[in-house]
C-alpha cells in the first residue's frame, strides 16, 4: 500500500508499519509494549495507520506505566470529532502522554458543562478542549451590520465562551483549551470582503481576535487551527463533502496534524516541550564543508540563493534563542576550524556567544549529544537535533530515541518551515525569565568548567557562591512550579502530577505546607528549581506527609536537597508539626534519589504489605540534625 | 487496477479500520452485513480510499452506493 499523504513531513517514514505493529503486539510486558508503540508513533503515519496504532494502544487498557503520564481529556464540540480522537491519542503518545478521551455529545457542550449528572461530570476531565465551529457564532449577523453591531454580536459570543471556560475550571479544575475558529467561509464580495465588517471572513477574524484576548486573560490555552489551516491551505483542513455527510469540520487527512497540534498544547502545559536546538554545521548552517571548502568556499549570505536560505535558517535559530530556546552545536569538524567560522565569517548571523554548548570533534554524534545534555544539565528528551545528513539522523534516532530529529528536507530553502511546523518548542506562556533562559544554560557550561578546575567537590560548591530564596508556593510561582512537578522524573520520589489549578488549590489550603526554592550562584539565577508539597494526615494533624518533592536536574549535586529539608523542618516545626512521613516509589527514572530519605536522617518504616518496591520513611522533627551546606539564605 | 484489485484493497482497508482480520468483502457485501461498519466508519472508509487512491467521491455517490460492488465500480471509473 502506498504511504498515505500527510502534512507532517518532519517525521521520518516507517518502512514496515504492519511488521512493527505486529512486533509490538507480540510483546507481553505492557510497559515494553507501550514503549514500542510510542516508538512507532514517532513516525509519519497516515489516517488509517493512526487508527490502527491507536487501537493497539487501547487494547492495553487503562494503565499506569513509568515514564508515561496519563491525562483525562474531554472534547466538547459542535462538529463531529470522533475521527480526531485516535490522532490526538497517538500524538500524545509521541510525547509520553497516555490519554483517556471523552467526547461530549454533539453540540451539547453547554448542557454537558452545566448538568452535574452528565457523563462529562462522571469522567472528571483534567483537560477540556472546546472545538466549536464559527458557523453558529456568526449566524444571524446581517451583512449590512455596522462595525458597532458586529462588535456587539462578537462580544456576546466571547462572553458566553468566557462563562463556559469559568464553569469548566470551577467544576473540574481542568486545563481549558479553546480551539480557534476555522475560517472555511467563501468570499461574498471578493477583495471587497475585507472592507465589509459583517463579511463572514471578517467576522471570523474578529471573533478569533477577541476570543484570543479573552483567553489570555482567563489563562485558557489556544489550539490555533485557524493559523494552521492558513499554512496548509483551508482545503487541506476542511472538506465540504465530509461536512455535508458527517459534519466533520476537520477533514480525515488533516486528523494526524490536528492531533499533533492538540498534543503539543497538552504536552507544553505539562512542561514537556523541547528546550534545546542542537545544530549541525556543514550543509545545515551553511552550504558546503568548512574543512574542505575553507572560509571563502562555504556558501552563506547574500548573493546566492542557497547562501540566503542558510542565512534564513540561522535567523530563525536566533529568533528561537530570543524566546528562550537554548542553542547548541554538534558537528563533525575540527573544533578550531568550526569556531573560526563563527568568529570570522562576515555573513554569520549566529555568533559563538549564542551557542551555549559547542561540540565539534570526530566522535559519534549520539555520544556528543549526551555530552551536550550533561553540560547544559538538561534531559536528552529536551533536545532537538537538526542535521542535513540522513545517516547521522538515523544513527541518533537509533541510539537516542528520546531526542527529536526532524526529517530535514533536501532543499535548504525548506529548513525553516520544517523546523517551525514540527512545533517542538510549543509554549503556553512567554515571560522575561524565558528570554533569559539561554544565558542561564550558557552559565551551566561555565559551572562545568569551574568543576573541572576545582580541587574537590567542597571546593567547587564553595566556589559557586550559592544562595537560596524560598517561601510558600504563591500565585506567581504557579506556572513554573506546575511545569517542574509535571516535568521532573529524576528527583521525584512519588512522581505525582498536578495541573496548575490543582496545585493552586493545594497551595491555598491552609492545612498544607508548600515550599518553593530559587537557587542563585555566581554564574546565574537558576530560578525556581525545587518545590515541595506537605499535607497533613486527616487523623494526625501533627504529622505531615511529603506528598510531592521535585528538584530540577540542573541543580543536582549542590546540596540543595539538604538546605530544602532544613527549611521544611523549620517551617513545619513553627506550626507544631512533630514529624514527617515520606514515600519513595521507584520508577525507571528516579533511581538517583533512592537513598534520599535515609541520607536526610529519615528512618525506614517497615510495612507488613509490600507495595511494588515502594518504601515508607519517617522523621521525628525533634531529632533532626540540621544539614550543613554551602548555600546561604536570602531572607525575603 | 482491476476491479478485483480494488476489492482486495477495500478488504485490507476495512480490516485495518475495524481491526478485524476475519472480514472479506465481496462485490455484493452490504455495509449492514459487516459488524461495526457503522456510519462513522463508512465515512472513515471512504476517506481512507480517497487518501490511498487519490480519488474523490461526489456527495451524491456516497449516499447512493447500494453495495461494495457499486463503490468498486465508481472507484474504477474515477481511476480510468
The DSSP letter of residue A316 is: H
Q: Give the pLDDT of residue A298.
A: 95
Is the same domain home to A470 and A340? no
Residues 6+ apart with CB under 8 A from A453: none
Query: Concatenated DSSP letters for A189-223?
Result: SSGGGGG-TTSHHHHHHHHHHHHHHHHHHTT-EEE
What pLDDT shows up at residue A278?
A: 98
Return the pLDDT at A5: 46
Residues, chain A: 636
Distance from CA of B16 to the nearest CA of A (A): 6
Q: Is A235 on the interface with B (CB under 8 A)?
A: no
The CATH topology of domain B3-79 is 1.10.1200
Distance from CA of B55 to the nearest CA of A (A): 13
**Is residue A403 located within the same domain as residue A544?**
no
**Inter-chain residue contact A51 with B47, CB threshold 8 Å:** no
pLDDT above 80 for B51? yes
- pLDDT 10s digits, B15-44: 999 999 999 999 999 999 999 999 999 999
Asked whether the beta carbons of A316 and A342 are under 8 A apart, the reply is no
* Residue spans of alpha helices (H) in A454-559: 457-464, 478-487, 500-508
Taking the C-alpha atoms of residue A176 and residue A165, their distance in angstroms, rounded to an integer, is: 7
Strands A513-520 and A525-536, bridge-based pairing: antiparallel
Any CB–CB contact under 8 A between B44 and chain A?
A: yes
Distance CA A364, CA A387 (A): 14
Domain final position from A406, A422, A438: A422
A62 and A153 fall within a common domain: no
Residue A439, all three cell numbers: 544565558
Pick from A225, A254, A269: which residue ends a domain?
A269
In chain A, which residues have their Cβ closer than 8 Å to the Cβ of B16? 48-49, 51-52
| pLDDT value, residue A611 | 65
**What was the pLDDT predicted at A608?**
67
Do the chains contact at B52 and A2, CB–CB below 8 Å?
Answer: yes
Q: What is the pLDDT of residue A3?
A: 38
The answer to whether residue A145 is domain-embedded is yes
- The answer as to whether A31 is a domain residue is yes
Q: Do A4 and B52 touch (CB under 8 A)?
A: yes
Question: Quick check: A48 and B16 CB within 8 A?
Answer: yes
Of the residues A367, A396, A422, which one is the last residue of a structural domain? A422
Whether residue A443 is contained in a domain is answered as: no
Say whether A326 sits in a helix, a strand or coil: strand
Q: Do B40 and A4 touch (CB under 8 A)?
A: no
Closest by CA to A169, choosing from A502, A428, A430, A510, is: A502
Sequence ranges of the domains in chain B: 3-79
Q: Which residue of B has its CA nearest to A17?
A: B16
A302 three-state secondary structure: coil
Indicate if A133 and A239 belong to the same structural domain. yes
Question: Which residues of B fall within a CB distance of 8 Å from A1?
Answer: 9, 12, 52
CA distance A28 to A17: 19
Tell me, yes or no, if B12 comes closer than 8 A to chain A by beta carbon: yes
The CATH number linked to A498 is 3.40.630.30
Name the domain count of chain A. 4
Whether the CB of B23 is below 8 Å from some CB of chain A: the reply is: no
A4 interfacial to chain B (CB closer than 8 Å): yes
Task: Kindly state whether residue A429 falls inside one of the protein's structural domains.
Answer: no
How far apart are the C-alpha atoms of A494 and A204, rounded to whole Å? 46
Could B47 and A244 be called an inter-chain contact, meaning their C-beta atoms sit closer than 8 Å?
no
Global ipTM: 0.95
The cell numbers describing A470, all together, are: 524560598
Q: Under a CB-based contact definition with an 8 Å cutoff, are residues A47 and B47 in contact?
A: yes
A300, A340: one domain = yes
Instruction: Assess whether A60 and A134 both reside in one domain.
Output: no
The rounded Cα A148 to chain-centroid distance in angstroms is 40
Q: What are the Cα distances from residue A20, in Å, to A1, A24, A28, A405? A: 15, 6, 15, 20
Give the Cα separation of A527 and A476 in Å (integer).
12
Residues A152 and A224 placed together within one structural domain of the fold: yes
CATH number at residue A313: 3.40.50.1000
Write out the H or E segment, with its range, that includes residue A152.
helix A147-172
Give the 3-state secondary structure of residue A336: helix
Same domain, A301 and A170: no
Strand order in the sheet with A127-131: A97-103, A69-77, A127-131, A175-179, A221-223
Domain assignment present for residue A61? The answer is yes
pLDDT attached to residue A2: 37
In a domain, A217, yes or no: yes
- Chain A interface mutation, best of B44, B63, B64, highest count of A Cβ atoms under 10 Å: B44
Chain B partners within 8 Å of A47 (Cβ): 44, 47-48, 51
pLDDT for position A610: 62
CA distance B28 to chain A (A): 23
Q: Give the pLDDT of residue A636.
A: 55
A587 Cα to chain B: minimum distance (Å): 33
Evaluate whether residue A538 is within a structural domain: yes
Is residue A451 assigned to a domain? Answer: no
The residue with cell 551551566 is A444
Counting one residue from chain A and one from chain B, the pairs whose CB atoms sit within 8 A come to 55
Given this model, what pLDDT does residue A609 score? 67
Tell me if chain B has a CB within 8 Å of the CB of A160: no
| Residue of chain A nearest B12, judged by CA positions | A1
Contacts with A251 from chain B: Cβ below 8 Å: 47
Residue A41 belongs to domain spanning:
8-67
The pLDDT of residue A1 is 37
Residues of B in contact with A244 (CB under 8 A): 59
> Are the beta carbons of A586 and A614 closer than 8 angstroms?
yes
User: Does the distance separating the beta carbons of A246 and B16 come in below 8 Å?
Assistant: no
pLDDT in tens, A416-455: 999 999 999 999 887 777 777 777 777 777 777 777 778 7
What are the average pLDDT values for consecutive 10-residue runs of chain A, which has 636 residues?
62 94 94 93 94 93 78 95 97 94 91 90 95 90 95 95 93 94 95 96 96 93 96 93 95 96 94 94 96 93 94 97 95 95 95 94 95 89 96 94 95 97 91 74 76 81 91 90 87 90 92 94 86 90 94 87 96 93 89 92 82 87 93 81
* Exposure on the CB side of residue A513, measured as CA atoms within 13 A: 25
Nearest by CB to A55, from B9, B19, B56: name it.
Answer: B19
Among B43, B48, B63, the residue with its CB nearest the CB of A48 is B48
Of B44, B58, B59, the CB nearest to A83: B44
Q: Do A253 and A289 belong together in one domain? A: no
Does residue B63 carry a pLDDT above 90?
no
Amino acid at each position: 500500500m502506498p504511504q498515505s499523504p500527510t502534512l507532517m513531513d518532519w517525521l521520518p517514514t516507517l518502512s514496515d508499519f504492519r511488521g512493527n505493529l505486529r512486533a509490538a503486539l507480540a510483546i507481553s510486558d505492557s510497559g515494553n509494549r507501550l514503549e514500542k508503540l510510542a516508538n512507532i508513533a514517532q513516525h509519519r503515519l497516515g489516517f488509517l495507520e493512526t487508527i490502527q496504532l491507536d487501537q493497539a494502544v487501547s487494547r492495553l487498557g487503562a494503565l499506569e506505566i513509568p515514564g508515561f503520564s496519563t491525562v483525562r481529556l474531554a472534547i466538547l464540540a459542535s462538529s463531529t470529532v470522533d475521527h480526531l480522537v485516535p490522532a490526538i491519542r497517538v500524538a500524545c503518545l509521541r510525547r509520553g502522554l497516555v490519554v483517556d478521551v471523552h467526547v461530549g455529545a454533539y453540540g451539547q457542550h453547554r448542557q454537558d458543562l452545566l448538568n452535574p449528572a452528565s457523563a462529562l461530570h462522571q469522567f472528571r476531565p483534567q483537560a477540556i478542549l472546546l472545538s466549536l465551529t464559527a458557523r453558529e457564532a456568526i449566524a444571524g449577523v446581517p451583512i449590512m451590520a455596522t462595525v458597532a453591531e458586529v462588535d456587539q454580536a462578537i462580544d456576546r459570543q466571547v462572553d458566553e465562551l468566557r462563562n463556559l471556560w469559568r464553569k469548566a475550571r470551577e467544576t473540574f479544575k481542568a486545563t481549558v483549551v479553546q480551539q480557534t475558529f476555522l475560517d472555511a467561509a467563501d468570499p461574498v464580495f471578493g477583495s471587497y470582503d475585507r472592507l465589509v465588517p459583517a463579511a463572514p471572513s471578517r467576522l471570523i477574524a474578529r471573533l478569533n481576535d477577541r476570543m484570543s484576548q479573552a483567553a489570555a486573560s482567563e489563562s485558557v490555552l489556544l489550539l490555533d487551527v485557524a493559523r494552521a489551516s492558513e499554512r496548509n491551505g483551508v482545503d487541506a483542513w476542511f472538506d465540504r463533502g465530509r461536512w455535508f455527510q458527517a459534519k466533520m469540520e476537520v477533514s480525515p487527512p488533516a486528523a494526524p496534524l490536528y492531533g499533533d497540534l492538540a498534543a503539543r498544547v497538552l504536552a507544553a502545559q505539562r512542561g514537556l516541550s523541547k528546550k534545546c536546538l542542537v545544530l549541525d554545521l556543514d550543509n545545515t548552517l551553511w552550504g558546503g564543508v568548512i574543512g574542505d571548502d575553507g572560509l571563502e568556499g562555504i556558501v552563506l549570505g547574500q548573493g546566492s540563493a542557497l547562501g540566503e536560505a542558510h542565512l534564513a535558517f540561522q535567523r530563525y535559530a536566533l529568533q528561537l534563542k530570543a524566546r528562550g530556546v537554548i542553542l547548541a552545536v554538534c558537528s563533525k569538524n575540527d573544533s578550531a576550524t568550526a569556531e573560526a567560522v563563527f568568529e570570522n565569517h562576515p555573513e554569520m548571523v549566529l555568533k559563538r556567544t549564542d551557542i551555549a554548548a559547542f561540540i565539534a570533534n570526530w566522535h559519534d554524534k549520539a555520544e556528543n549529544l549526551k555530552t551536550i545534555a550533561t553540560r547544559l544539565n538538561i534531559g536528552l528528551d529536551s533536545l532537538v537535533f537538526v542535521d542535513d545528513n540522513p545517516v547521522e539522523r538515523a544513527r541518533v534516532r537509533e541510539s537516542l530515541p528520546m531526542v527529536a530529529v526532524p526529517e530535514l528536507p533536501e532543499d535548504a530553502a525548506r529548513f525553516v518551515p520544517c523546523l517551525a511546523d514540527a512545533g517542538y518548542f510549543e509554549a503556553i506562556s512567554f515571560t522575561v525569565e524565558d528570554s533569559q533562559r539561554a544565558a542561564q544554560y550558557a552559565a551551566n557550561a561555565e559551572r562545568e568548567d569551574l568543576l573541572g578546575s576545582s580541587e574537590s567537590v567542597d571546593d567547587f560548591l564553595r566556589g559557586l557562591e550559592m544562595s537560596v530564596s524560598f517561601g510558600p508556593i504563591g500565585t506567581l510561582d504557579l506556572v513554573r512550579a506546575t511545569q517542574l512537578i509535571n516535568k521532573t522524573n529524576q528527583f521525584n520520589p512519588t512522581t505525582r502530577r498536578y495541573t496548575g489549578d490543582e496545585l493552586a488549590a493545594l497551595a491555598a489550603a491552609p492545612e498544607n505546607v508548600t515550599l518553593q526554592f530559587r537557587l542563585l550562584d555566581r554564574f546565574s539565577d537558576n530560578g525556581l528549581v525545587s518545590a515541595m508539597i506537605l499535607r497533613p494526615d486527616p487523623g494526625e494533624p501533627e504529622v505531615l506527609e511529603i506528598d510531592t518533592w521535585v528538584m530540577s536536574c540542573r541543580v543536582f549535586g549542590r546540596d540543595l536537597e539538604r538546605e530544602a529539608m532544613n527549611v521544611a523542618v523549620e517551617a513545619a516545626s513553627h506550626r507544631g508539626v512533630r514529624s514527617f512521613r515520606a514515600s519513595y516509589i521507584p520508577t525507571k527514572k528516579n533511581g538517583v534519589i533512592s537513598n534520599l530519605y535515609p541520607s536526610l536522617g529519615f528512618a525506614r518504616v517497615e510495612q507488613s504489605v509490600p507495595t511494588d518496591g515502594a518504601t515508607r520513611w519517617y522523621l521525628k522533627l525533634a531529632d533532626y540534625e540540621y544539614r550543613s551546606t554551602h548555600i546561604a539564605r536570602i531572607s525575603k | 487496477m482491476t476491479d478485483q484489485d480494488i476489492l482486495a484493497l477495500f478488504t485490507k482497508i476495512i480490516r485495518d479500520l475495524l481491526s478485524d482480520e476475519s472480514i472479506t468483502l465481496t462485490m455484493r457485501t452490504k455495509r449492514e452485513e459487516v459488524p461495526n461498519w457503522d456510519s462513522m466508519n463508512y465515512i472513515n472508509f471512504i476517506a481512507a480510499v480517497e487518501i490511498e487512491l487519490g480519488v474523490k467521491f461526489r456527495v451524491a455517490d456516497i449516499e447512493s452506493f447500494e453495495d461494495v460492488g457499486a463503490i468498486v465500480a465508481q472507484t474504477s471509473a474515477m481511476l480510468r
